[in-house]
Amino acid sequence: MYKNFDEVVEFATNFRHNLHKNPELTWEETDTAKAIREILDKHNITYKTYAGTGTVGLLAQDKQGPHIALRGDIDALPLEEKTDVSYKSVKTQCMHACGHDGHTATLMAAAIWLKQNEDKLTNPISLIFQPAEEGGHGAKKMIEEGCLDGVDMIFGWHNWPAIKFGQAVCPEGTVMAGNGTFHITLKGLGGHSSQPEICKDPVLAASALTMALQQIASRQVAPQDAVVVSVTSIDAISGVTVIPDNAKVEGSIRVPTNELKTKVFNQIEEISKGIALAYNVEVDIDLRDRYQPTINHKDEASRVREVLKDTLGENWQSNIATPIMASEDFSYYLNKIPGAFALVGSDDGVEKHQKACHNVHYDFNDKLIKPVSISLMKLANFKF
């Protein structure tokens, strides 16, 4: 039994540091899931398991009010950490560079305090510790196995270094973009660099394709539509005097609607075929859908804004433009039931809290644990 909530926050902060020191990649979160379940057991919180490493804590299941779910993600990224924190990752090429350790700890703080005050709860609550957010479609798998059965609404959040600490955003409508990837192989005919006339140069074609794809956002869609097309890799490794047979161009797109995703994918395909024809090479095009846009429901987003104002103060609202062009598999939940997703600022002036997510120098801001966990509890109808 904790004397006050600050003691819970201290426990959750230490828990976060332990998770940060021992990160696990998408669909490999075995020890993370074990640690979560051990704490839930210790605090007599009933839970169910989903998708292998997913865990859903259950509170006040006998209450008759609306069943509310709160979600935190648990997986790390394949990055080599370069911070100097005492709890730096002990694993090679594995790092909590997106703050999922902090999201998990924040949800755990809420879980512990809600359990300690379970007699005051007026409605059922599900606490979703979700694996595989980083491209693994963990939310989809959790839903398929029934984690939302009986749930009426869901709330989630993400720390955001580009927003000042003490501020947040939760717009009605699209808060984060949908995404997809493209993988284009240009098949030419290699040969000696001194005889380009008898070769079919895939490197030249890849260069032209890279430039042409950038024109989709600037010339093929309206300026009002937030679209990003990024070529992130050109693979045509060869000798300095050798034109290779093949070149591969890869990258990602970010779009605010599914309609625009279809349009951009079609344009990528048309441009790739046109470039291949113009440069006398063959082309294989692989377009992969990833996450849908994260679209907040009107009433639930309004509710989140009220809670954030109550918790963070009158000046809580950030003026950052939305939608944010990053993507989230929380979209699966919002496609299934009503809910909302907020971005909460972590920039308190400390350099590591200003580093963008997915950066090797990034570190989650522990100051977020208390206000966000309080906000989550209020969203679950607990009067903190």
Among candidate residues 318, 298, 299, 319, the one with its CA nearest the CA of residue 308: 318
* Tokens 């911070």 sit on residue: 83
Q: Please tell me the distance from the alpha carbon of residue 202 to that of residue 208, in angstroms, as a whole number.
A: 10
Among candidate residues 37, 24, 214, 43, the one with its CA nearest the CA of residue 134: 24
Q: What is the crossing angle of helices 30-42 and 100-116, to 10°?
A: 20
Asked whether residue 361 is marked as a ligand-binding residue, the answer is: no
The CA–CA distances, whole Å, from 119 to 16, 124, 294, 379 equal 27, 12, 34, 17
Other Cβ atoms within 10 Å of 240 Cβ, number: 5
| Parallel/antiparallel/unpaired status of strands 294-296 and 173-176 | antiparallel
Asked whether residue 297 is marked as a ligand-binding residue, the answer is: no
Asked whether residue 98 is marked as a ligand-binding residue, the answer is: yes
Question: What is Dmax (Cα atoms) for the chain?
Answer: 81
The residue type of 1 is M
Helices (H) and strands (E) in the chain, counts: 10, 15
Asked whether residue 100 is marked as a ligand-binding residue, the answer is: yes
List, as residue ranges, the binding site.
Answer: 98, 100, 134, 158, 358
List, as residue ranges, the binding site for Mn(2+).
Answer: 98, 100, 134, 158, 358
